[in-house]
Structure 1
């Protein structure tokens, strides 16, 4: 079999006694996947996974632009508005914890599809909100679906692409965040003046139909199938990928066999000696990053209004700034491969803090736009590194559980951030609010740089 693999053929299982490479003569699917270049079929799978997250970010980001209109319509004060933003993140907190464990038990694809159906239905239901209680309830349900989708889709994508291509596609996944937020801003500018906030929410719910593409196109993760002992299904999917690659490239490089542990893992293993340091690190990285990110994003349009701009102008400025996430993707995919994850994380923290403080101090239109773009560059660079780095810290058997727990820490920060920063803004003003939110992002970069393992060359 080794000769067949070296010649570029597919590697069928030699035995069913173990799913791990090098044991009982069976070549692991994970080892086989690591050498397969991206094919048109793989690219289509990646496209629908990206579109699923893109659709989610439109819904996720839309409320920050709509906050002034929703507060005015329902008569909310700043504190109630903060609670409205946070109720979604509370749902995301529970969704992330539950989905991580569910996906490790029943599969990645089923969990992704279910999560998109949940937030899609809730998104449409928001349009018909008759009162604040219904509005809050539907936003919470929407959060359950949003929170469930992110960590599972992230883990799925990391398992479908090769280790060589992982930085490019994992950071591209997070690039959908600024693109989705920008689209949400554009939709707000175009629709809000004519159809109020209900029309915007309706438009933001429509991309949930991308779930149809995921159902029809995306297979189950072969690494998850292998980890569950479903070798024939895993090998069939992997063989299809290999055959497509061979048809395009004539041959594949030899398989690099990596011996892996067969020990089964559960949620409690995240708090034992092997993963305890990683679990604690992820808590601080995700909590602080998303406290700052969503805490500030929720109020950014409101902050600009406080500086003297109207709703449409403020939405436009925020949307322009979000485009800074596009060069962040190019830098992240290059820097993560060139310098490693840890150094790139540190760069992200420095950029976010320095440019965020400058953004808060901006008094002219030109300075506001330039520093806004640079701040968003750093912020999305940080988010992209979180998306790339976190799944690499865990083994397949516990990857979505660990990733789900990490993102749930972030959702906790997302819950607290808008409420705390609303209080800061009320007591100390918009400038101090931006200074605090921006400056704290240096902490995750320093923590990863000083205490995190380097995962640059890790293979699943």
Structure 2
């Protein structure tokens, strides 16, 4: 390709990005958000479904606490692998194809879980299912972000992420209403629904124009933008002139995992990993273990134990919405320090008073869970702010792998601690983890409030 041809390609890429940035929300974009958001919703549902099947399975299969922990943790081990692999795959074959694969995996393996005959078979099926769920969220987040202009990306992203939390609430609601009536298999039957999303994902949604640009597929990217523009102008909306950005080329510089440990990014990477690990160890440990705890330790009715889980996840969604509309004013670093610090209080109280009644656990564990959820909920946004474009996907993908590691470690830790020291020690362990998170934020976290991405990440 000649120098002139290279220049023409660069100008085309810059022009396409400028045209994308000026677009308002259009019907094709709403459709894309709805379909991908539905997949993310069911990813949240699938993540928590096992928590509401385990109270029945623990009694049915006579499972000790350590075995319950392995069943729950197996899904998170798969999610860790999925987050690493599918983040890499999406950069090579495209966001849309990768999403189709991940949604298909976790839906098909939901069917397999229905026919589990013992703990070992369920562990295997949950592990494979986790590979799909672990890959879906980071890839879906990248896909949605790459269609939205800078002016509305922040608030839109957090409200989009809320769908994952609503999926958790839906899992709790289904568990409360249907498991006592129809059995534990109902949790997994509902999880089959996402398989119908693979058809619109594959045939009706456009590929990310930004991904197309990074692979030099200029005509395809231009075609996607033209269709979005046509939908807007057909509705009588006049588009403003595009403001062409500088430095946008068809073949962007690509980062690697090694870049995460160079210069200013080394401290950011290690700090981010600690935040992912600590927050998810606490929250997914609580979310997946408490319904079984209510049932097996306090011997309360199944329906009541599932209701307690529904209350906890619903409160967390409300608090997360408050976070979405407040964190831009408060700032990321102060919010995270405060959230970790506040969570120590209810967790410490449960440890001191011995967590002797189910009501005590419900009240104080719900407070801790809802507070920490504001951290887990916003870490994808924070991750994107800490890295430049050339390594943003790599940073988010490997960072989210640490959230899976934390999610896997939580149930395993609980199973071990309960067997050795009792329930109250679990809450003490979680309080210590929250202190580690708060201290790490106070010493090392970078504040990103109100700062331009290019200023933060040169």
> In which range does the TM-score fall when normalised by the shorter chain?
0.7 to 0.9
The structure 1 residue matched to 2:136, chosen from 124, 127, 149, is 149
Q: What's 2:110 paired with?
A: 123
1:75-123 deviation line (CA, Å, top 9, x unaligned): 2211011111111111111111111111111111111110111111111
Gaps of 5+ in 2: none
The one-character-per-residue Cα deviations of 1:108-145 (angstroms, maximum 9, x if unpaired) are 11111101111111111111112333222111110111
Contact 2:16/2:221 (8 A) holds in 1: yes
Counterpart CA distance in 2 for 1:339 and 1:388 is 15
- In structure 2, C-alpha distance between the alignment counterparts of 1:103 and 1:373, rounded to whole Å: 36
Partner of 1:391: 384
Q: Deviations over 1:263-301 (max 9, x none)?
A: 332333333336333322222111111111222222111
In angstroms, what is the RMSD of aligned CA positions? Answer: 2.9
Matched, 1:328 2:322: no
Q: Equivalent residue for 2:202?
A: 215
Task: Check the 8 A contact 1:96/1:408 in 2, yes or no.
Answer: yes
Is this contact kept in 2: 1:350–1:445, CA < 8 A? yes
Match of 1:188 among 172, 175, 182: 175
Q: Unmatched 5+ residue regions in structure 1?
A: 1-14
User: Which whole-Å CA distance do the structure 1 matches of 2:140 and 2:432 have between them?
Assistant: 30
Which of 313, 329, 339 is the matching residue for 2:304? 313
In the alignment, what sits opposite 2:268?
Answer: 278
Do the aligned partners of 2:169 and 2:314 also contact (CA within 8 Å) in 1? yes
1:410 is aligned to 2:403: yes
Q: Which residue, 374, 377, 382 being the options, matches 2:370?
A: 377
Query: What are the residue-to-residue correspondences of 1:239-388 with 2, within 5 Å?
Result: 239-246=226-233, 247=235, 249-252=237-240, 254-255=242-243, 257-259=245-247, 262-273=252-263, 275-305=265-295, 306-307=297-298, 309-357=300-348, 371=364, 373-388=366-381
Contact 1:91–1:143 (8 Å) recurs in 2: yes
| Aligned equivalents of 1:36, 1:127: Cα separation in 2 | 44
Task: State which drifts further: 420-429 or 86-95.
Answer: 420-429
| 1:74 corresponding residue in structure 2 | 61
Question: Over residues 203-255 of structure 1, what are the superposed CA-to-partner deviations in whole Å (9 max), with x where a residue is unaligned?
Answer: 23224423333234432111111112212222222333344445464233652
**Rounded Cα–Cα distance in structure 2 between residues aligned with 1:217 and 1:448:** 43
After TM superposition, give the deviation of residue 31 of structure 1 in Å. Answer: 4.2
Tell me if structure 1 keeps the 8 A contact 2:260–2:266: yes
Hey, what's the Cα distance between the residues in 2 that align with 1:131 and 1:18? 62
Where 2:117 maps in the other structure, the secondary structure is: coil
Q: Contact conserved, 2:138 with 2:396, CA < 8 A, in 1?
A: yes
State the distance in 1 between where 2:105 and 2:60 align. Answer: 26
Hey, what's the Cα distance between the residues in 1 that align with 2:299 and 2:121? 33
- Number of matched pairs: 444
Displacement, 1:335? Answer: 2.1
Q: CA deviation at 1:345?
A: 3.0
User: Structure 1 CA distance, aligned partners of 2:321 and 2:27?
Assistant: 22
Q: TM-score, normalised by structure 2?
A: 0.86
Question: 1:170 deviation in Å?
Answer: 2.0
Does residue 451 of structure 1 match 2:439? no
Alignment of structure 1 residues 1-150 onto 2, 5 Å:
17=6, 24=11, 27=14, 29-150=16-137
| Cα distance in 2 between the residues matched to 1:406 and 1:286 | 7
Q: 1:401 aligns with which of 380, 394, 407?
A: 394
Distance 2:436 2:17 in 1: 34
- Taking structure 1 as reference, are residues 203 and 103 closer, same or farther at Cα in structure 2, changes over 3 Å only? same
